[in-house]
Amino acid sequence: MNSNYLNEKTVEGVLAADRESTNEISGEINVQTATAPYQAEFPYERDEESQVTRREFCNFLFLTSSALFLGSAGFAGKLAYNASFEQKFTPLKIEGAEALAPGSALNFRYPEEKDTAILIRAADGGYYAYEQKCTHLTCPVYYSKPNDRIECPCHEGGFDVHTGSVLYGPPPRPLGLIAIEVRNGGEVWAVGKAAGDKHEST
Ligand code: FES
């Protein structure tokens, strides 16, 4: 079964549950409820994952050493390009952000209606926004207030709330970052998707 299809259904389930609760607030219970079938469909065994990871690492070493002979200059150039990459999209005011209390989060859609995202107001009062798709198998992540971090319910992935970087678990990359700006004394706007740290805090 196609995992992207599953994820779209899963994300829709989360958003529907959030809408039925309070003001689209992003809820851990809603995420866990909506992703339960997904976890059963794609069970994750940490031991198996480590075996695969070791095998993949050996393959990676072989391929990387070969590739270095062939294109080190071009590879370096591409890295430099990726580091500075930033896509600009039409700015969007994130409704409800002004009322968000420290230690809470809400869902929104950006840059397209199909793109689910999460805005977090961390315990320090700063705003942080990310794509909601986990970088492992695209389960929707949620904000854990007790731990002040972002968690994925499917395979125990964890991300830093301030940077989106991986703290633990199988996700291979940081969460996709959404650049935000605070305007007009408190409105929070999504203004683009960025590859590096580009957050605006209050
Ligand atoms: S989908 Fe596996 S840890 Fe998130």
Give φ, ψ of 55 to 5 degrees. -65, -45
The CATH class, in words, for 3-40+86-194 is mainly beta
Nearest CA to ligand 1 atom 1: 137
Count of CB atoms within 10 A of residue 189's CB?
A: 18
Measured from the CB, is residue 177 less than 6 Å from ligand 1?
Answer: no
Q: Please state, in angstroms and rounded to a whole number, the distance separating the CA atoms of residues 55 and 164.
A: 27
| Integer Rg of the chain from CA | 18
Question: Tokens 């009062």 sit at which residue?
Answer: 125
**Residue 153 Cα, ligand 1 centroid: separation in angstroms?**
7
CA distance 147 to 88: 32
Among 54-58, 106-110, 181-185, 197-201, name the one with the lowest average pLDDT.
197-201
pLDDT digits (tens, 9 = 90+) for 68-105: 454 444 444 444 444 444 567 899 999 999 999 999 99
Report the predicted TM-score, pTM, of the whole model to 2 decimal places: 0.66
Residue with tokens 């408190």: 186
Give the distance (Å) from ligand 1 centre to CA of residue 149: 15
pLDDT at 42: 61
Asked if residue 113 lies in contact with residue 20, where contact means CB atoms within 8 angstroms, the answer is no
Ligand 1 atom having least distance to the Cα of 152: 4
Q: What average pLDDT does the structure give for the chain?
A: 76
Of residues 5, 66, 49, 19, the one with CA closest to residue 157:
49
Q: What is the pLDDT of residues 10-61, one digit of tens each?
A: 556 555 555 555 444 566 676 777 677 666 556 666 555 555 555 555 565 5
How far, in Å, from the CA of 100 to the mean position of ligand 1?
Answer: 26
C-alpha of residue 176 to centroid of ligand 1, in Å: 14
